Structure 1
Amino acid sequence: MHDIPASLGDSARQQTLTAMYSEHHGWLHGWLRKKLGCSQHAADLAHDAFIRVLMLAEPQNIKEPRAFLATTAGRLLIDGARRRRIERAYMEALVIQCEDAGMPDPAEIHVALQALERIAEMLAGLPAKAREAFLLSRLDGLTYNEIATRLDVSASSVKNYISSALVHCYHSLHAADPLS
């Protein structure tokens, strides 16, 4: 597409996006409405799924638009559920803290929630066993042998999982903030 003038490329992109929206938005909204039982929530998620399509460099390369949209919407559902679990856990921890030391500043709460969400996103990019091994090590303080028993793997596998998790976290942090 590098031989096509930018204005023609933008026009073709716009046509692709318009066609995809008109052909599949109603279907996606209906599919989500059946899954969620709420038309407004379904409309919000359908909108967010199409925003993701808009952010793609080459949406015309999507071969199966409905499969792509369903997968994207499913990931958005998972992200939302994870975000709500993190917020709930943090708010529960705040209640306990408030009983002892008083209510923290709302700005501090916001910063902490953003940090927890970033951590959850980072860990979500890991394979399941690596994520679980990392969390068991860091949060529960289990040894590699204890983790190996829980995961039904060898201690050397646990070492590899945790090493890959640390490398993944390092790369995720530096991709988000290349100056650090």
Structure 2
Amino acid sequence: MHDFPVADCDMARRQQTLTALYSDHHSWLQGWLRKKLGCSQHAADLAQDAFVRVLLLAEPHNIQEPRAFLATTAGRLLIDGARRRKIEKAYMQALAIQYEDAGMPDPATIHVALQALERIALMLAGLPDKAREAFLLSRLDGLTYSEIAAQLQVSPSTVKNYISSALVHCYQTLHGADPL
């Protein structure tokens, strides 16, 4: 008689069963899925997922027809994946409608706008502080040259020069040429 408990025998039997199932049927399942799907990477992922399901079984040694069981499991995984993609698509469509209804831009538009803002920030970073501030006060806050002059404690003609130099700088940065 053996000196180890019954649980160890069950664990050894389970491991032996799982190893045999994997080594005997993994290549077959992956090939079968590759023929069905036409994509070896997707087939490999799905075969792996099917074997994960087998690992989760309480008694894998009770599987009578391993290939039928694996094919059924993989088929159910395919159905689950199709359902998930359908739900994700419906969710994304609902989000797009929600953005439209709320008058909000969609995520792609937001991404493009953020990229443009990053480019603008880099462009403005190349300006002297006072010129950048005058440009932003004019363009973003809508202040007049006189209002900007009062805030920056300079003359309106200096503000005009700041904004002109900022516009030239932006044009040159964007187009790589002198605007004149």
Q: How many residues align?
A: 102
In the alignment, the residues of structure 2 paired with residue 88 and residue 7 of structure 1 have an alpha-carbon distance, to the nearest angstrom, of: 47
In the alignment, the residues of structure 2 paired with residue 104 and residue 16 of structure 1 have an alpha-carbon distance, to the nearest angstrom, of: 51
Query: Contact 1:53–1:59 at 8 Å: present in 2 too?
Result: yes
Q: Which residue of 2 aligns with 1:80?
A: 81
Q: Which residue of 2 aligns with 1:18?
A: 19
Structure 2 portions without partners, runs of 5+ = 108-180
Query: Contact 1:16–1:59 at 8 Å: present in 2 too?
Result: yes
Q: Which residue of 1 aligns with 2:28?
A: 27
Q: Structure 1 residue runs of 4+, over 6 Å off? A: none
* Secondary structure, counterpart of 1:50 in structure 2: helix
| Identity in percent | 75
In the alignment, the residues of structure 2 paired with residue 12 and residue 95 of structure 1 have an alpha-carbon distance, to the nearest angstrom, of: 53
Query: Contact 1:94–1:103 at 8 Å: present in 2 too?
Result: no
Q: Which residue of 2 aligns with 1:148?
A: none
Q: Which residue of 1 aligns with 2:90?
A: 89
In the alignment, the residues of structure 1 paired with residue 46 and residue 32 of structure 2 have an alpha-carbon distance, to the nearest angstrom, of: 11
In the alignment, the residues of structure 2 paired with residue 91 and residue 73 of structure 1 have an alpha-carbon distance, to the nearest angstrom, of: 27
In the alignment, the residues of structure 2 paired with residue 104 and residue 92 of structure 1 have an alpha-carbon distance, to the nearest angstrom, of: 11
TM-score by length of 1: 0.54
TM-score by length of 2: 0.54
Query: Contact 2:50–2:77 at 8 Å: present in 1 too?
Result: yes
Q: Which residue of 1 aligns with 2:127?
A: none
Residue 99 of structure 1 deviates from its aligned partner by 1.0
In the alignment, the residues of structure 1 paired with residue 27 and residue 92 of structure 2 have an alpha-carbon distance, to the nearest angstrom, of: 37
In the alignment, the residues of structure 2 paired with residue 79 and residue 63 of structure 1 have an alpha-carbon distance, to the nearest angstrom, of: 24
Query: Contact 1:24–1:66 at 8 Å: present in 2 too?
Result: yes
In the alignment, the residues of structure 2 paired with residue 69 and residue 97 of structure 1 have an alpha-carbon distance, to the nearest angstrom, of: 41
Residue 24 of structure 1 deviates from its aligned partner by 0.1
